[in-house]
Amino acid sequence: MLYAQLFLVRLYRWMKAKGHPRQLVGNLISEAENKKSLKSAGTTRAALFWKAVTDSVVLPVDEKKDIAVCATR
């Protein structure tokens, strides 16, 4: 349970940040792509997370879409 809590704390902290993670710019994300993402910096990480968990760039129409993170033993 401790690891699940640590994961959630780090996930929430990551989600609150703006734009692409700085460590990725220049390696996985080009400078041009990073500049483009700064126009919608508040939603960049939400979109990245959504793509990672659904493999889709199409965001849900329902603005209250929840994703449950469950810990298993």
Confidence of residue 36 (pLDDT cuts 50, 70, 90): confident
From CA 35, how far away is CA 46, in angstroms rounded? 17
The pTM of this model reads 0.56
Does the pLDDT at position 33 exceed 80?
Answer: yes
Q: In whole numbers, what is the pLDDT of the chain averaged over residues? A: 79
Is-contact 20 29, C-beta < 8 A? yes
Kindly give the residue spans of alpha helices, DSSP state H, lying in the chain.
2-16, 31-37, 41-54
Q: By mean pLDDT, which of 8-17, 33-42, 43-52, 63-72 is the weakest?
A: 63-72
Residue with token string 């997370």: 49
